[in-house]
Amino acid sequence: AQSVTQLGSHVSVSEGALVLLRCNYSSSVPPYLFWYVQYPNQGLQLLLKYTSAATLVKGINGFEAEFKKSETSFHLTKPSAHMSDAAEYFCAVSDASGTYKYIFGTGTRLKVLA
């Protein structure tokens, strides 16, 4: 069975500071991993995805994530936070066999302080 754990339901950073949002997964098969962002009362937008190619994945808006198999982690980072980054972020896992199942974490709400 697959699962996703996001550590920290709320994270606050100062504008210009490093953003680090944590995601650990559990999967018995090679995983596909995703980060999505959600702004209030909107749908989810894909930030980046890992599909077994390069372990360091670059996404939109300056975000990137590194797949670490030994740590079963896929943490999301951005070197310098911007006010517009304030949103909720979701990590999700699927499996490489192409089944329908996408498991989402419970989300991390990012607050950016001026």
Q: How far is the CB of 100 from another protein (least distance, A)?
A: 5
Binding site for another protein (CB under 8 A): 9, 34, 36, 41-46, 49, 51, 90, 92, 100-102, 104-107
Judged by beta carbon, residue 36 or residue 81, the one nearer another protein is 36
Collect all residues with Cβ–Cβ distance below 8 Å to 50 and sequence separation of at least 6.
31, 32, 33, 34, 57, 65, 67, 74
Q: How far is the CB of 20 from another protein (least distance, A)?
A: 20
Q: How far is the CB of 114 from another protein (least distance, A)?
A: 25
Residue that the structure tokens 């959600």 belong to: 38
Question: Cβ(48)–Cβ(56) under 8 Å?
Answer: no
